[in-house]
Amino acid sequence: MIHPIFLSCLLSGRQGSRVQVNGMKTTLLLAALTALFMALGYTLGGSGGALIALVVAAGMNLFTFWNADRIVLSMHDAREVDAQSAPDFYNLVRDLAQRAQLPMPRVYLIDQDAPNAFATGRDPDHAAVAATTGLLSMLSREEVAGVMAHELGHVKNRDTLIMTMVATIAGAISMLAQFGFFFRGGDREGHGNLAASLLAVIVAPFAAMIVQMAISRTREYGADRAGAEISGSPHALASALAKISGAAQAIPNPVVARNPATAQVYIVPTHVSELFSTHPATEKRIAALRAMAGDGVEDARAPIASAPRPSALSPVAPRRASRTRSALDPHRR
């Protein structure tokens, strides 16, 4: 129904074999997620329930296709900035976008202490990137460049639409399952479907979570690689991940508290257990970035040996070792 749209979005920008394989895998996973939604509808309402689930899934994804960026940004009360209101941050994103050969995305700031960032939008021509004020105050300029290059990597790999749509369907499955037991349990005729209803309520959300995690974890590794290539410094991105991962889990995030499905759009996971995280372990991502840089460091939890080394192509200037705050901090802390 909607899957050819996904596939065309994934394959139109890059023709490499790796991207094509990832596109096929994502399409199959999304098809499985939609089929699961329909199966849950059938379990709770028979053939009519399956048809309703199909229509609802199509409607949700069509709406999300055109409004993915607005949905995520409005949930975070993000404010758009430009070269006048946030010149350092905006110009940094502009330079990175030019290096990635991407259209200039809209740039947003989120007034939130938890350090994090995300990208959204249905395609590179309608993309937006956002970062929290907590992230800008915590990281150096080079590290912020690594983080925003990671987000532009999601845009370049055409992940942003997929992530938002997956979160929409997975959230709908969980919501439907929450009410499903009561709908079927109230059936005076019984029909022996109580066990099936229990199975749907328990298994369907868990299966949806597994599919969601499978998509998200694959995409994070790809965006890390793309971000390191765009910024020219795998060290800077690795350093940023090491700094913000602990704080992102320790500092409460009100948006995730209201809607846990939003956790998958961030560069690092919020305070959730590793079992239910939509991201790979941060230590594994750091190890992969170090391998890119040729460090040969196996223990990703060890301190990074040296300060991030800016590439000759990097749009950011080297930082003095004594500097303790980010020049991008909008509050100048």
Active site residues per annotation? 151
Tell me the backbone φ, ψ of residue 249, rounded to 5 degrees.
-85, -30
Q: 3-state DSSP call for residue 207?
A: helix
- Look at residue 306 and give its three-state secondary structure: coil
What does the block give as tokens for 310?
A: 């800016």
Q: How many CA atoms lie within 13 A of 127 on its CB side?
A: 25
Return d(Cα 26, Cα 78) in angstroms, integer: 29
Pairing of the two strands 128-132 and 117-120: antiparallel
What are the start-end ranges of the H helices in the chain? 3-12, 17-75, 87-99, 133-138, 141-156, 160-185, 194-231, 234-250, 254-258, 282-293
Beta bridge partners of 79: 109
| Strands 106-110, 128-132: pairing kind | parallel
Tell the burial category of 31 from Cβ atoms under 10 Å away from its Cβ (0-12, 13-18, 19+). Answer: middle
3-state SS, 113-165, equals CCCCEEEECCCHHHCEEEEEHHHHHHCCHHHHHHHHHHHHHHHHCCCHHHHHH
